Structure 1
Amino acid sequence: MGMLRVVTINVQNTEGDPRRTELINRELRRLEPDLVALQEVLDNPQRHQLDELLDGTGLHGTHQSAAMSYAPPWVERYGGGAVATRRPHQVVECLDLRGSDATDVPWCTLAAVVPVPDEGELLFIVASSSWRLEAEAARERQALALTDLDARHRRTLPTIVGGDLNAEPDASSIRYLTGRQALGGRSAYYHDAWAVAGDGPGWTWSVDNPAAGEVIDQIVRQPNHRRRIDYVLIGSWHAHPTAHCRVRSAELAFDKPMDGVWPSDHFGVVVDVEIGIITPPDPRPPAS
């Protein structure tokens, strides 16, 4: 069996203090993750932020722009999704989840196949969803699309999903993904890594982070706003009956200032998992 470290972080494109990208890079080098889900990564002719974020980490990265033949509106300002992995990966699909109910979401969802030494391959999905507080109907549609994406490409090893899902654990989209609610007559089940192994509320978008305060004041306009909206989800037994992915730890990351600067308006999540194929019992009777 293998051990993997998974990180998800919304990097907040290049807004705010120009030192933030270097600080996120520094922390990625310290954490040494195997799988990284990145959201709001800027990529345009003037700046390839993914290269800066991954410099010196040894990670292989793909921005959504490399997997698409067009650029969604607003992506040049707010960035897009990106995947980074310790071993070379293959992006198998990129989903543009905009719709009439979510016209301003340039962050696409990426699915990449990643090898795990001595165990096989897994599907790693970098997910994003609609950010507006009233957009849960759009997030429901996007959650259904995410599970369809997984079904199209999943491998024997459990799928791992990381991303900024813009919904709290009791929202319908997250309840669907974690098996507590059906949507449109359909159901699914992923383990929420924080619910398995996290300590405390795990808020990832909070007034406790000064980098988030201005946006929270702009769109929430209420005091003491704190939510857990960034996730690592693990595919479960029903979709992967011959493999396991056990969550061993789940902690916040990028949740403290570095050199007096907060790395992003989101806190990240870092999860350690043990993953492998389950060896079936030998049906033969023991030798006499």
Structure 2
Amino acid sequence: MDGKIRVATLNVWGRHGDWTTRRRALRECFRSLHPDLVALQETIVDGTGDQVREIFGEDYHVLHQGRRTPVGLGCSIVSRWAPDRVEEIDLVVTGRVDAHDFPGRSTAAEFATELGPVLFVNHKPNWQVGYERERELQALEVARWIERLVEDRDDVHVVLGGDFDARPETASVRFLTGRQSLGGLSVSYQDVWEFARPGESGHTFTLDNPLIVAEADWARIPPRRIDYLMVRCDDRGPTLRIHSADRLADQLVDGTFGSDHFGVTADLGPVD
């Protein structure tokens, strides 16, 4: 895409369900999308294989989070470019952490793109519905960390994405989108969905997806928008123009969806 980059985020859902069939759906999804940067959550890398390579092959650079659960679960970044730097931050902010299903890290990678330097941050806080305090603290830690990473640099754009496990009205998301402060800090990131699709629900975790219906526990909660892409703002607004935002992996392929989540994708370009 001339003068634009395409970014995406998706929770892969590990190897749950029929992975062989889901893998075909995800391969087709990303083959059609042609993304430049992808934040993936709940990917498994272990002695039997690498889920990300199974989806993307060898055509992309792949960065795997350094800390993973005992079964190899963690987060990954996929990119058209080799990274200039990669850093991780610890998200274990309270004692309420189960190391068996929460790696407790977020990853930032900087890339030289046609839009200039882009710091791409893959954020995955605690998932439990009653853990909003943890998600608030984790959002605060990530925001402070990003500000340190881009300190005194006016040339770098920041794209923050991931499965935040929080609806737009929650404190952690309100903080990130500039609607309130936390811990004496205020920041502002533009939610691409809110910008490009005002008034549309954009649910990414919904009973419209039969893979969630099959999970008896998750079938008890209402539809939610919990997966995000956001662009860091300067004093006037997002430093990249948001041309579009769409749900990702929300179409059946061979009778199945690729994950229990729908993802988000956006086309970003320079501000005129």
Same fold, TM-score > 0.5, yes or no: yes
CA contact (8 A) 1:11 1:263 kept: yes
Residue type matched to 2:226 in 1?
I
Match of 1:286 in 2: none
Judged with a 3 Å threshold, the aligned counterparts in structure 2 of structure 1 residues 90 and 21 are, in CA distance, closer, same or farther, namely: farther
Q: How far apart, CA to CA, are the structure 1 residues paired with 2:87 and 2:253?
A: 35
- Structure 1 moving runs of 4+ over 3 Å: none
Q: How far apart, CA to CA, are the structure 1 residues paired with 2:51 and 2:211?
A: 19
Deviations 1:182-209 (CA, angstroms, capped at 9, x unpaired)? 1112111000000000262000000110
The structural deviation recorded for 1:253 is 1.1
Match of 1:271 in 2: 266
Match of 1:195 in 2: 194
Q: How far apart, CA to CA, are the structure 2 residues paired with 1:253 and 1:262?
A: 10
CA contact (8 A) 2:196 2:245 kept: yes
The structural deviation recorded for 1:4 is 0.8
Residue type matched to 1:188 in 2?
V
- Over the aligned positions, Cα root-mean-square deviation in angstroms equals 2.1
- Asked if 1:229 corresponds to 2:226, the answer is yes
Residue type matched to 2:131 in 1?
A
Residue type matched to 2:10 in 1?
I
The structural deviation recorded for 1:145 is 1.3
Q: How far apart, CA to CA, are the structure 1 residues paired with 2:98 and 2:183?
A: 22
Counterparts in 2 of 1:166-181, with a 5 A limit? 166-181=165-180
Residue type matched to 2:47 in 1?
P
1:143 partner SS: helix
Q: How far apart, CA to CA, are the structure 2 residues paired with 1:102 and 1:197?
A: 35
Residue type matched to 1:191 in 2?
Q
Q: How far apart, CA to CA, are the structure 2 residues paired with 1:120 and 1:134?
A: 39
The structural deviation recorded for 1:220 is 6.1
Q: Give the structure-1-normalised TM-score.
A: 0.85
2:157 partner SS: coil
1:8 partner SS: strand
Match of 1:95 in 2: 89
1:159 partner SS: strand
Judged with a 3 Å threshold, the aligned counterparts in structure 2 of structure 1 residues 144 and 20 are, in CA distance, closer, same or farther, namely: same
Match of 1:14 in 2: 15
Q: How far apart, CA to CA, are the structure 2 residues paired with 1:231 and 1:192?
A: 7
Match of 1:32 in 2: 34
Q: How far apart, CA to CA, are the structure 2 residues paired with 1:28 and 1:230?
A: 17
* Unaligned residue ranges in structure 2 (runs of 5+): none
The structural deviation recorded for 1:120 is 2.6
1:93 partner SS: strand
Match of 1:42 in 2: 44
Q: How far apart, CA to CA, are the structure 1 residues paired with 2:104 and 2:87?
A: 14
Match of 2:4 in 1: 3
Match of 1:125 in 2: 121
Q: Among all aligned residue pairs of Structure 1 and Structure 2, give the percentage whose two residues are the same amino acid.
A: 34
Among candidates 36, 48, 53, match of residue 51 of structure 1: 53
Q: How far apart, CA to CA, are the structure 1 residues paired with 2:186 and 2:111?
A: 26
- Asked if 1:137 corresponds to 2:139, the answer is no
Residue type matched to 2:254 in 1?
D
2:143 partner SS: helix
The structural deviation recorded for 1:22 is 2.7
- Asked if 1:163 corresponds to 2:162, the answer is yes
Larger Rg: 1
Q: Give the structure-2-normalised TM-score.
A: 0.90
- Asked if 1:148 corresponds to 2:147, the answer is no
The structural deviation recorded for 1:40 is 0.4
